[in-house]
Structures are given as C-alpha cells and as structure tokens.
Structure 1
Amino acid sequence: MKVEDFNPQDYLPQGYYPWPDLINPNIAQMEIDMKNWIDHDYAYLPEKARSKYKKMGFHLCTARMVPKASYEQTIPCNRFVLNFVVMDDQMEFATIEEKKRDCDRAIEILKGSTPSANENGIFQHLALIRDEYKAFMPSEWLERFTVNLSRCFKYGVQEETPFKLAKRIPSLEYFMILREYSVNMYPYLYWADIETNFVLPKYIEEHPVIQRLRALTSRIEAWQNDFYSLRKELGLDTELMNLILVLQKGQNISLEEAVMEAKRIHDEDVAEFVALHENLPNFGNHQQQVYDYVTSLGTILQGLNTHYIKDTERYLDGGEGFAWPEGEQVNKYKTQDFKPG
C-alpha cells in the first residue's frame, strides 16, 4: 500500500456504527461563537494558528457529540473542545514538567481557583466553562468531569511525553493502555449526562460494566483518530503515537498489514461495546435511562466519525492543517490581559 492510496473512509465510512448520526440545530450560532473566541480570547496565538483553528470545524464536532443539547448547554461544551485542543496542541513540544504545571493549573481552575488577569485564554476559558456547567449541572457531575480530565492529563498527555521527545514507540501492550487516555476522550463522555438529562447515580457510575463501556468508547475514538490522522503523521518523526504506526514498526509488518490489524482491534472493541449495550445488568427503575445513556456514548462515536469525514481540515497530509506551536509558543504559553470576546 502506498501512503497516497490510504483513505480512512475505505475502512470507517460515514454511518459505519449502529448508532444515530445527528447534529445539533444551533450550529450557525455555535460557529459564530467559536470564531469569536478564536479571534478575541485566543488572540495571543499567531494568526496562522488561529486561521487553521477556524478551519477545523470544532463547532460541528461539538454539535455532533451533543445533538440534543440546548444552545445554552452547547456553550461550555463548544468552548471546551476549543480549549482542550489548543492546550494539547500548544504543549506539543513541552517537557513533562511544563505540561504538569499547566495541567495542574487547569484542574485548579476547574475546582474553583480564579485565573489571574495575565493568564491566557486557555485558563480564562476554563473558569468560564466551570461556571457555565455549574449553571445547569450538579456539583457531583462537575467533579466527575474534572477528575476524568485530570486522569487524561496524568496518564495520557504526561505519560506519552517521554516517547514523543525520544521519538520512539512503546510496546503495543502499554501503548493500548496509554492511548486510551492520551486521546483525551474521557471528559467528553460525561456529555452523555447532558444529552440524556440523567446524571448516573453513584452505584451505576461505579459499576464495572459502565466503566468498561466508557473505556471502550475512549479506545474506539482513539482508533478512529489514528485512522484519520495517519496521513498527517506519516513521515513526521515526532508523530509515532498511532496504533497503525506502533503495529507497523513494533511488529515489522507492512503498512497494509498494520492497517488491517488496527481495523480488527477497532472492530473487536465495537463488537464488545454493542454486546454490553444489549446485555446491560439490571439497573432497576433506571434501566431505560442507562440504555439511553449508553446510546448517547455511541452517538458521540458516530458523530466523531462523521466529523472526521465531513467537517475538518485538521488532518491534512503531512500536518499541513495542524496548528503546530511556533516561536514563543514552543514550550510555553504567552500571557495576555484577558477581555472575553
């Protein structure tokens, strides 16, 4: 297989999954909001980066993940997509210490700390996200959201850094655990509570089947992302944390063989998810609500796949559509006096 012959849609076409493919009707206003935030609240970023972020279609990503949410509910979700992606992107070449510093600060703000006036839009938006979520979600939900964001920072963003800086791949076994967190999916899964207007009771939240379904959702999204980002990452020696590349290099097999093995892993995870969804434990009076909740997790996966296909320029060949950090953005963030746009 030649690189130019690889098309992820040949493996994951639109409608591939057995869940609804929906979009929120408030996309026009969501796009206006997104572009306004990029231009005003993230004005410290280079103009080239801001232009690329506008072409990534983040508002459409949000709209496909929370298709039933009200406009007011979409605001912190939409804001978080931009926030989390920019933070992750601009830490691309940072050290573990620098990443830990900024990740810890993000969690402090979500827990209630007030950002100073000279902290940039990433941190200012986290305070807005926190307060906007608190307006319609209970404190227990925000705590779960924050804990799972922290887990992605700790077990994903930070733990993959030594491999990225050394330009080497981990073992397949370790990678598959690491990638579940480094794809940064876990906090988004709590949007299913918003979609269904149902915050799982603690005994359901902690049930091993629910925890496994969340793990599978995160893994499936990781494998999706690895398919769609492959052409962006091929030829870039810093971009090795991709299931297909780990299989190819770690097992010394062809690109085509690695793609097919990655597809097999993906499909096995999907099959397990579907089987668990159709055979949930007895949750008593909450049975239908839990079933609908898991459907919302599937809708997130379906929506993300459609987003990759239809909405974004983020994964153009060779990283041309990616907002790589540059200049003073490498290894640190600029500060600014913040005035929300």
Structure 2
Amino acid sequence: MKNLKTILLNPFPPRVSPYLTLMREKSEQWINEDYGTLPQPFVKMMKRLDGASWAAHSWPDAPLPLSISFTRALLWGIAQDDYYAPFQAEELSKVTCRMMEVARGTIPGPEENPIIHQFSILMREFEVIATEDWIKRYIYDVSQYLEGIEIDSSISYRKNINYPSIKEYIPIRRKNVAMATVNDKIELVTGILPNYIVVHPFVQEARNIGGDLFAWSNDLISFEKERQDDEAMNLVLVIQNERKCTMEDAFDEAVQMYNSRVEDFMVLYNDVPDFGVYTPVVKKFLEGQGLWISGYLNWFEDTKRYSMQEQLN
C-alpha cells in the first residue's frame, strides 16, 4: 500500500486527547467484560481496533466524560457493522428494529447481545447531556446508519458481487459510514446547533463532505481487507469495477477524489456565511470536522485493524 500520509491532503495538525490512557483502560474493560462473551475472533478484532486511540485523536478537545462516551460509541459502531452485517436480510432487519426500539428508550433484557446493551448505555449517556432536538436528530441518523448496513449487506459478502456505480455508491456509503452520527457528536464538543442551522445548505454540504472524507479515507486504508472479505462498499473496488482498470489506477483515482473533496471542505472552512450568534459555533463545528478527519488518519498508525498479518494471528 502507498504511504497515505504523503499523498492525502491533511490541512489539520495532529492532536490527541490528554485522556487517552483512561480511555484505553475503559475500552479494554468493556471489551473484556462486556463484549467478551462474543466469539473470540470478534473479541480479538475489537482489541486490534484500539478504538480509544481513534476517539482520542478525533475528539481531542472533548472533556473526559464525553471522551469515554465517544469511545463507547466508536466501539459500538464497529461492533454493530462487523458482527451483524453478514447476517441474512430477515435477521438483520429484526436487529435494526430492535436497535431503534432501544434508541427510543427500551431497556434490553439481560439475555440480549452485549452490542445491544452497549448501544443502550451510550444512548442513555447522551440523553443526560444533549438537548431533546439533538437526541431526535441522533436517533434518525442512527436509523440511517443501520439502513446503510442493511443495503451494504444485501450486496456484499458473496463471491459474485454486483458492485454499485460510483454515483450509486456515494449516498449509500454516506449512510453506512455513520458520519451523520459523528457530525452530531462533534456538536457535543463544539456547541449544539439548532435544527434550522443544521438544515441550512452550507451546514448540510459540510456534513456531506465530512462523510465523504471519512468514507473515502477508510476505503483507501481498508480496500485490501475488504476485497478479501468480499465487501462491495469500497470506493477503490467500485472504481475498479466501473472503469475496468487496474487496482492501482482505481486507487490513484480514489486519492484524487479524496484530495479534491478536501479542497471543497477548505473552501467552506475559510468562508463561513453569517449565521448571527451561531457563526462562531458553525466555525467551531467545521474545525471539529477537520480534527475528526485528521484524527482518523493519525489513528490509522495505531490500529492493527487493517493489518493482514494481524488478522491471521
């Protein structure tokens, strides 16, 4: 794999939370004590992830309680996708329905999967600190994430993959990468925006660009693993299928798309319109997005999630 740090634009300097050690302790505790009842290969994957490092790099300014909740949320998001996505459509639909019940306040029974319990805990943690409107928005964005997993599952995990076109891929990937929920969590650090600001075309464009940057950087990092796992929703693989080109050419085109999207983001970042009293909050939100994208790229150096050798151990 080419050195992504040298070829991907990354205008935001690396930063890390001062609470990383505590976040790692919590993460290891949850994986051992809560997720530990799941199949051991899955538990090993969760340990290789180093979700605490991901959260620490991506939300460096979050206070400790939020940093802990964000770590929990990242672990849940990965667990939800990796564990449930290979399920058959009917079973996966049942999981989605159950998750939405839990999102709206239903408490799972003791016999239910620890992934469901962790989601219930993080929802209750967010309810304590967020506004009612934020919670409603977050629940909707979680539903879009779960829908994205279902769509992905319907075309992945088979040898004869019917890849989407690049045009079809983008809106689906925005859903199943869960960046909408990440954007929501960024607001918990930079300031919660009222709904009339969130739906403004400028903010919506920033949210979409953030989703593309997260998804496409992930796809560039993970395309070798995802090709081996017969996954369809990867930009490099989608480009290669549509263009009928070499994998190297597809990779290079994905890099160009990513860097062009970074330039689009910086245009927004440097020219925030007047939102009245919320103008500085919107500016902080975009800065938070930049830190997230930069943090994800820096976390990649810590995680063993995408190491093919590690997956054999």
Q: Same fold (TM over 0.5)?
A: yes
Q: Which residue of 1 aligns with 2:231?
A: 239
Over the matched positions of the two proteins, sequence identity in percent amounts to 26
CA shift, 1:7, in A, is 4.0
Cα distance in 2 for partners of 1:91, 1:131 equals 22
Q: Which residue of 2 aligns with 1:96?
A: 89
Cα distance in 1 for partners of 2:193, 2:177 equals 24
What is the identity, as a one-letter code, of the residue corresponding to 1:280?
A: V
Q: Which residue of 1 aligns with 2:141?
A: 148
CA pair 56-22 structure 1, distance change in 2 beyond 3 A: same
Q: Which residue of 2 aligns with 1:8?
A: 4
Question: How do 1:223-262 residues align onto structure 2 when only pairs under 5 Å count?
Answer: 223-234=216-227, 236=228, 238-262=230-254
Equivalent residue in structure 2 for 1:191, among 155, 172, 185: 185
Cα distance in 1 for partners of 2:146, 2:163 equals 19
- Alpha-carbon RMSD across the aligned residues, in angstroms, is 1.8
Q: Which residue of 1 aligns with 2:306?
A: 315
Q: Which residue of 1 aligns with 2:280?
A: 288
Structure 2 portions without partners, runs of 5+ = none
| SS of the residue 2:49 aligns to | coil
CA shift, 1:100, in A, is 1.8
The answer to whether the aligner puts 1:168 opposite 2:162 as a matched pair is: yes
Cα distance in 2 for partners of 1:135, 1:252 equals 51
| SS of the residue 2:151 aligns to | coil
| SS of the residue 1:43 aligns to | helix
Work out whether residues 167 and 237 of structure 1, in 8 Å CA contact, stay in contact via their aligned partners in 2. no
Q: Which residue of 1 aligns with 2:51?
A: 58
| SS of the residue 1:25 aligns to | coil
CA pair 218-79 structure 1, distance change in 2 beyond 3 A: same
Cα distance in 2 for partners of 1:224, 1:83 equals 20
TM-score by length of 2: 0.93
The answer to whether the aligner puts 1:18 opposite 2:14 as a matched pair is: no
Q: Which residue of 1 aligns with 2:117?
A: 124
CA pair 111-304 structure 1, distance change in 2 beyond 3 A: same
CA pair 53-45 structure 1, distance change in 2 beyond 3 A: same
| SS of the residue 1:55 aligns to | helix
Equivalent residue in structure 2 for 1:181, among 156, 175, 184: 175
Of 181-190 and 159-168, more deviation after overlay is shown by 159-168
CA pair 318-265 structure 1, distance change in 2 beyond 3 A: farther
What is the identity, as a one-letter code, of the residue corresponding to 1:320?
A: Q
Cα distance in 2 for partners of 1:298, 1:199 equals 17
Cα distance in 2 for partners of 1:116, 1:239 equals 32
CA shift, 1:209, in A, is 1.0
Work out whether residues 232 and 318 of structure 1, in 8 Å CA contact, stay in contact via their aligned partners in 2. no
Greater helix fraction, Structure 1 or Structure 2 = 2
CA shift digits 1:149-171 (9 cap, x unpaired) = 111211x1111222214522111
CA shift, 1:229, in A, is 0.2
What is the identity, as a one-letter code, of the residue corresponding to 2:282?
A: V
Total equivalences in the alignment? 311
Cα distance in 1 for partners of 2:312, 2:85 equals 15
Cα distance in 1 for partners of 2:229, 2:58 equals 32
Work out whether residues 231 and 316 of structure 1, in 8 Å CA contact, stay in contact via their aligned partners in 2. no
Cα distance in 1 for partners of 2:65, 2:86 equals 35
CA shift, 1:94, in A, is 0.9
Q: Which residue of 2 aligns with 1:279?
A: 271
CA shift digits 1:104-139 (9 cap, x unpaired) = 211211211111121121111122111211222222
Cα distance in 2 for partners of 1:274, 1:321 equals 40
Work out whether residues 313 and 321 of structure 1, in 8 Å CA contact, stay in contact via their aligned partners in 2. no
Equivalent residue in structure 2 for 1:270, among 262, 269, 278: 262
Equivalent residue in structure 2 for 1:47, among 40, 50, 59: 40
Work out whether residues 144 and 176 of structure 2, in 8 Å CA contact, stay in contact via their aligned partners in 1. no
Structure 1 portions without partners, runs of 5+ = 323-341
| SS of the residue 1:114 aligns to | coil
Q: Which residue of 1 aligns with 2:105?
A: 112
CA shift, 1:55, in A, is 2.0
CA shift digits 1:272-331 (9 cap, x unpaired) = 1111122222101221121111110111101011111x2101111378279xxxxxxxxx
Which is bigger in relative contact order (C-alpha 8 A, separation at least 6)?
1
| Structure 1 consecutive aligned stretches of length 4 or more whose deviation exceeds 3 Å | 5-10
The answer to whether the aligner puts 1:300 opposite 2:284 as a matched pair is: no
Q: Which residue of 2 aligns with 1:36?
A: 29
Cα distance in 2 for partners of 1:237, 1:36 equals 28
